[in-house]
Structure 1
Amino acid sequence: MRLKPITMALATAGVVSILSPVHAEEQPKKTERIEVTGSHIKRISAESATPIQVVKREEIAKTGATNVKELLDTLSMSTSSSDMADIGRSNSFATGSSSVSFRNMGQQSTLVLLNFRRVAPYALADYADVFTNLDALPLDAIERVEVLKSGASAIYGSDAVAGVINIITRKDYRGLQIKADHSWSHTSGTFKSNNASITGGMGDLAADRYNVLVNADFYKRDPVMWNDVMKYSNREVTKKFRNFGSPSSYSYPGNVNLKALPGCAEKNSGGLCIYNRYERFQAVPESKRANFFAAGKLQLTDSLLSFTELTYSKIKTEYLNAFQAYGPALPPTDWGDPVTSKPKTFTYRGLPVGHPLNSTNKEVGFHYRFKDGPANSKVDSDSYRLVTGLKGSFGEQDWETAVGIMGAKTVNREYGSFSESGFKKVIGDYTQTVLPADFFNKPNGYRMAQENSAEVLSVLFPEYGYKGENKQSFIDGKISGPIAELPTGTLGYAAGFDLRKETFTITPTENTKNGDVVGLGQTETNASRSLGAVFGELSIPVMKNLEAQVAGRLDKAKGFDAHFSPKVGFRFEPSKSMLFRGTFETGFRAPNLTESAPSTKIAFNNGQSDPKRCPQAERLSEDLQAQASALPTNDPRIAFLQARADTVRQNECSAGVVSIVKNNPNLKPEISKSFSLGMVLEPIAGISTSVDYWNIQRKDEIGLRTIADLLANEDTLEPGIINRNSLANETNFTPAELAQYGVTVGSLASRNQAFENRNKTKTDGIDFNLRGSFSAGAAGKIQLDWNTTYLHSYYEWSANKGGYGDNLSGRYGYSKYSSDLTTSLVSKGATNGLRFNFNSGTTLKRDYNDTQYTDEACATRGWNTSECRIASYMTVDYFLNYSAIKNLTINFNVRNVFNRKPEPNLRWMDEKGGIIPQDINDARGRMLKLGFEYKFL
């Protein structure tokens, strides 16, 4: 048909071609069967029942991506949030890693493959999420990325719910080349990163009967502090938040009783000692990565090939954090005790009577910052995969078997939080009703604003963190080929097995394990299991122009019953320029070892609004602001009143809640049902378009009831699920304020739950693709590639409501449209063009129970209707690939050509306290990338 050669040449969505030019020239008469992502059956036509998007090597260069994470985030179906990149994971359980999510279904529901096989997950779980670390994959070794736009559990097993990413590396390469590039912000001169790689290959499989390929890929990203780039932020956003850019009165040497201590380097107009906290607010952490890939093939006989692949990655990431602040005006820090599974509270106290800096007869307040202490975290991560196997054929049957090992190890070491026991030893016991006179003045203890020994600092601020490690060993095999030639075509089949054993350990340091580190969450896992699967697939020629795909996979692992995943699909080609396709399948995600194995997880959930205290806090905050406004401008009390006004509201309307969660050995797998229906048209030669409707419904989702849901129904819950601090230990409201504003319950302390199969999600939408190639005469050829994802609906189940909530499409975090359009002019020796990136706007409100960001709630904050939403956002990129010089290719990319700032997101600023910009792109602006590639052979 006319559709096939054109779409194969253009790599249309849903079409893959991996026939190399060399083979095409050497064997023009041979029809080669190829394996396509989403099927084990090799076929002549690359088109199948399932839509596939292919991103080739030259298209990767057009995006300007510097790593695999950036590349996958350019896909229209990608819905990854900022906290799925290593840049935004400084406070995560999985620091130093990056992941991806499709269709808003989460990082555990998108399966990542490397050359059709799984890779080891990251060695630290993100609380309970186990996922592939994209930073451990070499960008320059990639030949193409095949993105399956539907589930594929019937083919690949667990996790293939929202989609599959199959990263396919270069093959049969001969020669030697080096490649390097440098990226930086044209706006600020910062946000720098460097890539360098070397690739070598030797041996012709046909002539020499072997081929060896080796690639080494190196990446380095410079750190960026907000202090250096804040001036580039969008003032239309930041001017609404008084805290933005403001120095802190929690300073060194500090303030006692509204007076700066001697030796203060900088004071405000009221005479208070201040500190530029943005010196330690980090926008981008430093990262160093080395990825290694090697592959070898040996043709043993004409029908027997041996192969081996090795990948190895080493990553170092360092995060710089704010120095520890201290003062009785700060809210108590709650965390959990892993030994007792009960909440703990650290209360900030003042200077006692008798302290040299306290001349009063009562405990006195002060603001201090431990600038002499450490405040950073270092993450070292290694991962590997070794696969070796055989593939061959007998007659028309193709078979393949392989064995392998893979794994990952991550060591995360952090510094900067108090040791509770160390604090009591070198500062004093903060739990005493009346503080002893030597509190903050112990002999050989910590001394404010004085030089302290390394020994004292190590007691107060010890090292803590985690070591994570996972290992897998596996053996797999499959066979495929024709069963019979029918009048309507070839009846084909595939069958195979997959056996693996996995272990997963996450070991906290001893002080983390016993709950000694103030405010720190905790997770621990030590478990293993064996998994097995058998699968089969049929390609049935129903008619000459109608093919059916039937597949099924049976998975079994210790801890849950055997699960069968079926799939049916069709491919109908009524004419040479028209194709219809569709699938129906079920998918699943097995409980991972961090969810089902014995463990207790303790985390800190920020941004929670307390419905029983937030309204009162907002009124108190307004009254404190009014008191500050009434004072003379040089009155030192202004800064304290304003700081308290912000703190009061932050503590109750964006509170932190300790979450203590147990494992559940009785968890069932998450189950999904999905179907797709689409068509591919080629109305004229050189133009191909596809439209695919997709629908996913997932149930038995493993998770927890949201804190917002629990708080909305607190009075109906069993005792012990929501825990509050006693009013006797109240720190946010004074006794008089408790009565004045009607506060009758204590502040939030913790929630206690166990994982359960409780949630459901349903979503649907449309993927659109248009590709074309036109002659531009003497100028060359124009290429067009347009991808759009339309989110029609997204619903989450609410246990409180007893049904689904609102349609979240177009709500906060759920853009209705995501689109990218690439136009290229391909001429002799050069390719250049533009890429347009678009995301539609959203409201600030999320689901039905979100009362904090309705239009009415926005109005109470002084935000107008347009400010109570995020407007649509589009950027334009430019790319140039120049190859007119023999063996040399020069690449130049400009991302965000017009230096457009992200649209204001007042909700993000509000929830984070309005202290730092909403997005690093706010300060990054226009980015430039210049690189070259040189081939020696």
Structure 2
Amino acid sequence: MARVEVTGSSIKRIAKEGALPVQTITFEQIEKQGITTTEELVRTISANGTGADNMTSGNNVFGADADRVSGGASFASLRGLGPNSTLVLLNGRRIATHGGSGKAVDLNSIPLSAISRVEILKDGASAIYGTDAVGGVVNFILRTNYQGLEASATANVTEAGGGTTRRATLLAGHGDLENDRFNVMAAVTVDKNDMLHSHDRDFANGFQPSRGLSPDTTGTPFANQLTGAGTALGSNFTVPGDATKYLQANLLSFQNKCDSIPYMSQYQSELWKDVTPVTRTRFSCAYDYGADYVMMPPAERANAIARGSFQIAPGHRLFVEGMASRSKVTSILTPLQISTSLANGNAYPVNGPYYQDLSQYISTFDKTKPIIYKWRATDWGNRTMDNTTESARLLVGLEGTLDRWDYKLGLSRAMSKTQTALTDGYGYTTQIYQALGSGKINPWLAPGQTQTAEAMALIESTKFRGDLQHGRTTLTQLDGSISGEVFDLPAGAVAAAVGFDLRREGYEYGQDADATQILLAPGNAALKEATRDIKAVYAELIIPVVKDLEVQLAVRRDDYSVIGATTNPKIAFRYQPANWLLFRGSANKGFLAPSFTQLYSASLDQELPNGTIDPVGCPLNPGNPDYCAIPRLDYKSGGNSNLKPETSKQGTLGMVVEPFKGFSASLDYWIINTQDKILNRTPQIILANQPGLAANVIRNPANGSGVGTIDYVQAGWINAGGVKTRGADLGLRADGKVTDVKWSAALDGTWTQSYKFAELAGQPFKEYVGQFFTRDLYLRWKHSATLTVSRGDWSGMLSQYFASGYKDQLPNKGIGAPPAGFDPDVSSYTRFGLSTTYTGFKNTSITFGIQNLFDRDPPFTAHNVDEVVGAGWDPRVADPRGRSYSLTLKHKFF
């Protein structure tokens, strides 16, 4: 039997259930489920986290924890520990991390159509693969020795419209490695995804106040007037019969017509009364920008891979492998939100042709004064940016057998670069302010009205179009290993492997334009090129202790030129007392060095939504909005050169049973404990963790209350206290035959018993399983299951994906009592798929599939869209496309 190298070990051996839990997904399974992108595939893996590492969530500018330089990328995050903690490999070797964020490998750069299978190691592998494999390894393994010419095309169309995906692939190979002593193979894939807008889905509705969900923004397409000294409304105003002093006003609110403008509604003051005072919002309109949002951005991708293998001598092979990919994702965001002021010179002038007089409703309205207002500037158009990422890797390798020793040697060079260009909706701040101050632009367009040609020309003159910023990562690697049997023990031969890994990593992020001059540009980070060298050596032993018991010992030492050196050991065992029963387990240590972005990224200036509470200043100044309902608080985020490495201790203990032929079950319990967890902390978290993080809250001089108002919050990367998580993976496999019908079934599920997190060292750990959280959700149970049957030329597959429910975010940010109709539980999410394949035509197969068979909508959630993408739904859990139909045609020419 052929010996193979299985993910989790450097020693080739006969393939069998090993000491480490490895899940394998074949290309046939992927294809029959209608999966067309690597992001979709990884999201079906139960051990992968339920977080904001997908393109839909990454298309968000509202969330304080948004990754604003991900460039339409998506990432893997095993155990929910973050993309940095998951190592993504191609044929067992590294590829460059995403050129924009630099944090991890972009899944979109993986040539999915050329792979043979995917192996997921659900155990820390720092001792084998490197310090960044704390959460596990996802290894994409390409086809080898392919012969022939094959073309395939796939279309996946949604029933409700929008979000259509298309794919075309050409795969060619020539030569048999054993007989011809060579094989060359190449594959090219082109993908195109259409945009899916919230307009196209009824469940994307952020105005459901009876259920606890409504917008918390007064930046509306029909502007809200603001109060201020020297303005038409003055410092405040009253209405007849009411002595309350109010701070915002909208003509449509007085007329009960807020909803006459698409996506606008009356601000729900009662729902938000404990966050934003009623004095600010009773006569304001709100804007549901979560429902006016692009759920899935349009995307175009092309992947190409070529591999040539040559048998230069019996048992020795030289191979050259090249990979290239190009991804263009168009991020489309809602229009600019602008708050005008007298100081900026963009107030609406008294002599303007559209001056809005509210004297009919407010007796103190002063028509001799300018108006300041908050406006969603829809006439500037949606903020649109093109994110183009190009990745490549060239690998030259040598592998073979010397006597009884297997060896491999590889030299590779990989890069990824991202270019972000603004194409519409953005403009120069100074010119925009000047245009607004001219009075020629009407911020109070009634239904059916449009701006004048002069106003539109003025708006167009303020716009910035062109390249904004770019990023680039590089990876040069020389690695090698040798493995084989070293000596015999009574229970069998001892196998060993030793190897080395030399890498140089580089990252840079630069500006093509001064983002500080462009209103609400998505980022102004700049990082001059930084590099670091990593030198690593490792060794591994597999020792047969007694009959049916073997132990795996591994150790690796990595030396970072910037961070320092670390040694990480691992021990695992495999015990099979009977041919139907296997016990296995492992224990290891991990070390995660901070990334370039985490260490060196420049500061980004951003702002929080209305209603932020200062937990220190508000109790000392009750009712004072400067402390208890801060409007649009500034905060900064970025790198932290003082970060410490993250360390971990983890282990697994499990069993595999095969009580009868055709059925097997595995159950593996896992534990991971980390310290100095590296996390990008939101300003809300910084504020909530004073005095421990008081140095990150920069205040103005005190005014007699003992504490000054907040100038800004320094958010960004910090060493958090740590994470303690544990749970179990369940795997079920069965197959059989009834007359001439073959069938097989499989289930892979993950039960998370606990995910506890401490914000600071010394703080108590808080449980997050089954609870709403703004970055990741830690669900109690997730699984993917399939049932396949085949007979003759026909085969079919029924698939199911399940994610358990969780406790919703409390309305009113949990400060006040939720409304009577609020359901605190977000329901579970189940999605079925059905496909059938016919191979009766010569060299041709046809697969027809239905995804989301029962057209299940995402479960309702009342989370506030300012913190998590979505209006009434959550893209971290559910697919917004609804029922879709896929057709795949594949023809092999020879």
Segments of structure 2 that go 5 or more residues without pairing to the other structure are 62-67, 234-253, 265-288, 358-366, 443-449
Equivalent position of 1:361 in the other structure: 368
Out of 43, 46, 49, which is 1:73 matched to? 43
Structure 2 residue matching 1:493: 3-state secondary structure: strand
Equivalent position of 2:526 in the other structure: 524
Equivalent position of 1:926 in the other structure: 883
Equivalent position of 2:735 in the other structure: 773
Q: TM-score, normalised by structure 2?
A: 0.83
8 Å CA contact 2:654, 2:669 repeated in 1: yes
Structure 2 residue matching 1:160: 3-state secondary structure: coil
Structure 2 residue matching 1:371: 3-state secondary structure: helix
Equivalent position of 2:285 in the other structure: none
8 Å CA contact 1:381, 1:409 repeated in 2: yes
Deviation at 1:93, TM superposition (A): 1.9
Deviation at 1:724, TM superposition (A): 6.9
Deviation at 1:500, TM superposition (A): 1.4
Q: Deviations over 1:36-62 (max 9, x none)?
A: 001001112433210100001221123
Equivalent position of 1:627 in the other structure: none
In the alignment, the residues of structure 2 paired with residue 608 and residue 815 of structure 1 have an alpha-carbon distance, to the nearest angstrom, of 29
Q: How does 1:5-404 map to 2 (within 5 A)?
A: 31-85=1-55, 88-91=58-61, 92-125=68-101, 130-186=103-159, 188-227=160-199, 229-231=200-202, 233=204, 240=211, 250-251=221-222, 274=261, 281-326=293-338, 328=340, 349-358=346-355, 360-365=367-372, 369=377, 371-372=379-380, 375-404=383-412
Deviation at 1:502, TM superposition (A): 1.9
Equivalent position of 1:795 in the other structure: 756
8 Å CA contact 1:87, 1:285 repeated in 2: no
Structure 1 residue matching 2:687: 3-state secondary structure: helix
In the alignment, the residues of structure 2 paired with residue 758 and residue 833 of structure 1 have an alpha-carbon distance, to the nearest angstrom, of 44
1:935 counterpart = 2:888: no
Task: Give the AA of the match of 1:55.
Answer: I
Pick closer, same or farther for the CA change 1:234–1:662 going to 2, 3 Å: closer
8 Å CA contact 2:59, 2:331 repeated in 1: no
In the alignment, the residues of structure 2 paired with residue 181 and residue 268 of structure 1 have an alpha-carbon distance, to the nearest angstrom, of 52
Structure 2 residue matching 1:690: 3-state secondary structure: strand
Deviation at 1:467, TM superposition (A): 0.4
8 Å CA contact 1:34, 1:46 repeated in 2: no
In the alignment, the residues of structure 2 paired with residue 922 and residue 470 of structure 1 have an alpha-carbon distance, to the nearest angstrom, of 31
Equivalent position of 1:701 in the other structure: 677
In the alignment, the residues of structure 1 paired with residue 343 and residue 581 of structure 2 have an alpha-carbon distance, to the nearest angstrom, of 68
1:752 counterpart = 2:720: no
Equivalent position of 2:640 in the other structure: 663
In the alignment, the residues of structure 2 paired with residue 851 and residue 799 of structure 1 have an alpha-carbon distance, to the nearest angstrom, of 27
In the alignment, the residues of structure 1 paired with residue 394 and residue 189 of structure 2 have an alpha-carbon distance, to the nearest angstrom, of 18
Deviation at 1:544, TM superposition (A): 2.3
Deviation at 1:840, TM superposition (A): 1.5
Structure 2 residue matching 1:931: 3-state secondary structure: strand
8 Å CA contact 1:199, 1:215 repeated in 2: yes
Task: Give the AA of the match of 1:421.
Answer: T
Deviation at 1:423, TM superposition (A): 3.5
Deviation at 1:776, TM superposition (A): 1.9
Task: Give the AA of the match of 1:102.
Answer: L
Deviation at 1:522, TM superposition (A): 2.7
In the alignment, the residues of structure 1 paired with residue 225 and residue 453 of structure 2 have an alpha-carbon distance, to the nearest angstrom, of 11
In the alignment, the residues of structure 1 paired with residue 816 and residue 55 of structure 2 have an alpha-carbon distance, to the nearest angstrom, of 30
Task: Give the AA of the match of 2:304.
Answer: F
In the alignment, the residues of structure 2 paired with residue 657 and residue 276 of structure 1 have an alpha-carbon distance, to the nearest angstrom, of 27
In the alignment, the residues of structure 2 paired with residue 385 and residue 913 of structure 1 have an alpha-carbon distance, to the nearest angstrom, of 34
Q: How does 1:437-452 map to 2 (within 5 A)?
A: 449-451=452-454
Deviation at 1:596, TM superposition (A): 2.6
In the alignment, the residues of structure 2 paired with residue 239 and residue 43 of structure 1 have an alpha-carbon distance, to the nearest angstrom, of 61
Pick closer, same or farther for the CA change 1:581–1:713 going to 2, 3 Å: closer
Structure 1 residue matching 2:431: 3-state secondary structure: helix
Deviation at 1:238, TM superposition (A): 7.7
Equivalent position of 1:837 in the other structure: 801
Identify the structure with the greater helix proportion: 1
Deviation at 1:545, TM superposition (A): 0.9
In the alignment, the residues of structure 2 paired with residue 326 and residue 605 of structure 1 have an alpha-carbon distance, to the nearest angstrom, of 14
In the alignment, the residues of structure 1 paired with residue 85 and residue 330 of structure 2 have an alpha-carbon distance, to the nearest angstrom, of 28
In the alignment, the residues of structure 2 paired with residue 785 and residue 420 of structure 1 have an alpha-carbon distance, to the nearest angstrom, of 57
Deviates more, 1:827-836 or 1:458-467: 458-467
Q: Deviations over 1:649-695 (max 9, x none)?
A: 9x94996652244521x433211111001111100011011010000
In the alignment, the residues of structure 2 paired with residue 901 and residue 297 of structure 1 have an alpha-carbon distance, to the nearest angstrom, of 48
In the alignment, the residues of structure 2 paired with residue 726 and residue 119 of structure 1 have an alpha-carbon distance, to the nearest angstrom, of 52
Pick closer, same or farther for the CA change 1:797–1:718 going to 2, 3 Å: closer
Task: Give the AA of the match of 2:221.
Answer: Y
Pick closer, same or farther for the CA change 1:612–1:398 going to 2, 3 Å: closer
In the alignment, the residues of structure 1 paired with residue 604 and residue 891 of structure 2 have an alpha-carbon distance, to the nearest angstrom, of 50
Structure scoring higher RCO (CA < 8 A, sep ≥ 6) equals 2
Task: Give the AA of the match of 2:310.
Answer: L
Structure 1 residue matching 2:567: 3-state secondary structure: strand
Pick closer, same or farther for the CA change 1:347–1:914 going to 2, 3 Å: farther
8 Å CA contact 1:898, 1:926 repeated in 2: yes
In the alignment, the residues of structure 2 paired with residue 757 and residue 234 of structure 1 have an alpha-carbon distance, to the nearest angstrom, of 37
Deviates more, 1:598-607 or 1:218-227: 598-607
In the alignment, the residues of structure 1 paired with residue 667 and residue 259 of structure 2 have an alpha-carbon distance, to the nearest angstrom, of 63
Structure 2 residue matching 1:361: 3-state secondary structure: coil
Q: How does 1:855-874 map to 2 (within 5 A)?
A: 859-864=817-822, 867-874=823-830
8 Å CA contact 1:63, 1:71 repeated in 2: no
Equivalent position of 1:557 in the other structure: 560
Task: Give the AA of the match of 2:794.
Answer: A
Deviation at 1:881, TM superposition (A): 1.9
> How many residues are aligned here?
814
In the alignment, the residues of structure 1 paired with residue 477 and residue 206 of structure 2 have an alpha-carbon distance, to the nearest angstrom, of 55
Pick closer, same or farther for the CA change 1:492–1:348 going to 2, 3 Å: farther
Q: Deviations over 1:278-331 (max 9, x none)?
A: 896322211000000111101111132100111100111112232334455xxx
Deviation at 1:808, TM superposition (A): 3.1
Equivalent position of 1:9 in the other structure: none
In the alignment, the residues of structure 2 paired with residue 102 and residue 843 of structure 1 have an alpha-carbon distance, to the nearest angstrom, of 22
Deviates more, 1:891-900 or 1:920-929: 920-929
Segments of structure 1 that go 5 or more residues without pairing to the other structure are 1-30, 259-266, 333-344, 429-437, 622-647, 728-742
1:819 counterpart = 2:783: yes
Equivalent position of 1:22 in the other structure: none
Deviation at 1:509, TM superposition (A): 3.1
In the alignment, the residues of structure 1 paired with residue 502 and residue 869 of structure 2 have an alpha-carbon distance, to the nearest angstrom, of 50
Structure 2 residue matching 1:59: 3-state secondary structure: helix
Q: Deviations over 1:697-720 (max 9, x none)?
A: 111222366534432354776566
Pick closer, same or farther for the CA change 1:705–1:247 going to 2, 3 Å: closer
In the alignment, the residues of structure 2 paired with residue 207 and residue 160 of structure 1 have an alpha-carbon distance, to the nearest angstrom, of 38
8 Å CA contact 1:578, 1:682 repeated in 2: yes
Pick closer, same or farther for the CA change 1:576–1:536 going to 2, 3 Å: same
